């Protein structure tokens, strides 16, 4: 494929956090055993580290310079899979990632997943919105193709056939390589498979909420459908807004932030029981609780790569380390039992 084009001049790159001095020198390519842990996403040639670094915090709780450091640390540890969306900080996340890709010359070695449908400039999943959203994301990311494009949500106002048809045009032009769904029901996934059998693009992955503290919605219906269709599952909120990282253990730990308010609902008997088992197993494996929570997800089929974010480079190691943890049968039984409702 062609090299990435220059980013559009109308993209707001003037932030000091994204100036060359802040980005620093180009680090040497990583040589890390994490490469041997990589997995293939369904029927694709996308080979990814089993931890997708989420970009929702870039430009929000992590400024441009901090985001660059997080991305550098992720790459140094063997990570190669980035997840973002056109709606994250109104596209700022994509801009930051695009600047990092260029400065590190990392596009060819990085798998980029982005989501469309929630950006106010190109809302919904009409053909027009999809085409406009993808072109805007390509500009912000400074690339000429997206590895994995997600529909960010199921848009009931647009026939699924129209949405898939628009992506078909983008795939034929090489601007989108593979298609995935986010927050789709089992019924809509089955409808999409029927349309794919008639020649339209098929979903190869599903991004859905799934963690030790949020199991039932996925395991009750989506697990069966994704397994039958051979879809890769990419769970988000893998750490339950930071609660499973042990970040919030009392009301005193709750800052006045959106993430903390979401984590507050787990400050109850069930949440503390799960955290206690995580703490014990983490101590036995000499890792952080977050690594165990993610390792539990990685060990469950058909999960390929949980999505987790870091607001500081020091948080990245625990996330990436999860891929190398081998939980025992007893560990899995204990975690399954304590997290079941």
Q: Which domains does the chain have, with CATH numbers?
A: 29-241+288-327 (3.20.20.100)
pLDDT digits (tens, 9 = 90+) for 309-323: 999 999 999 999 999
Backbone angles phi, psi at 330, to 5 degrees: -65, -40
pTM, full prediction: 0.87
Alpha-carbon separation of residue 310 from 61, 84, 112, 148, 239 (angstroms): 9, 13, 17, 21, 11
pLDDT digits (tens, 9 = 90+) for 194-225: 999 999 999 999 999 999 999 999 999 999 99
> Each residue of 253-283: b (16+ CB within 10 Å) or e?
eeeeeebbeebbebbeeebeebbebbeebbe
Residues with catalytic roles: 88
- Span 161-187, mean pLDDT? 98
pLDDT digits (tens, 9 = 90+) for 54-94: 999 999 999 999 999 999 999 999 999 999 999 999 999 99
DSSP per-residue letters across 243-310? GGGT--SSGGG--SSHHHHHHGGG-SHHHHHHHHHHHHHHHHHTS-HHHHHHHHHHTSTTB---EE--
């Amino acid at each position: 494929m062609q090299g990435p084009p220059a980013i559009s001049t109308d993209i707001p790159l003037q932030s000091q956090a994204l100036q060359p001095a802040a980005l620093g020198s180009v680090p040497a390519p990583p040589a890390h055993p994490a490469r041997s842990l990589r997995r293939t996403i369904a029927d694709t040639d996308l080979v990814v580290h089993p931890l997708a670094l989420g970009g929702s915090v870039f430009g929000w709780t992590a400024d441009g310079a901090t985001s660059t450091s997080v991305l550098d640390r992720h790459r140094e540890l063997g990570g190669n899979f980035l997840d973002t969306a056109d709606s994250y900080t109104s596209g700022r996340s994509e801009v930051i990632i695009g600047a990092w890709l260029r400065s590190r010359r990392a596009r060819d070695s990085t798998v980029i997943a982005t989501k469309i449908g929630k950006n106010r400039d190109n809302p919904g999943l009409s053909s027009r919105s999809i085409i406009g959203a993808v072109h805007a994301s390509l500009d912000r990311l400074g690339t000429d193709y997206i590895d994995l494009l997600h529909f960010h949500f199921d848009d009931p106002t647009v026939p699924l056939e129209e949405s898939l048809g628009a992506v078909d045009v983008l795939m034929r032009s090489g601007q989108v390589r593979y298609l995935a769904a986010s927050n789709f029901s089992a019924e809509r996934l089955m409808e999409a498979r029927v349309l794919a059998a008639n020649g339209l693009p098929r979903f190869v992955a599903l991004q859905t909420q799934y963690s030790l503290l949020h199991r039932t919605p996925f395991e009750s219906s989506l697990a069966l459908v994704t397994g039958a269709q051979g879809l890769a599952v990419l769970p988000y909120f893998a750490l339950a807004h930071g609660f499973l990282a042990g970040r919030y253990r009392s009301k005193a730990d709750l800052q006045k932030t959106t993430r903390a308010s979401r984590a507050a609902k787990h400050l109850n008997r069930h949440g503390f029981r799960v955290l206690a088992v995580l703490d014990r197993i983490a101590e036995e494996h000499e890792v952080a609780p977050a690594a165990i929570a993610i390792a539990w997800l990685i060990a469950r089929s058909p999960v390929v790569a949980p999505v987790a974010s870091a607001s500081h480079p020091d948080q990245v190691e625990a996330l990436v380390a999860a891929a190398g943890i081998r939980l025992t049968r007893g560990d899995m039984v204990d975690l399954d039992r304590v997290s079941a409702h």
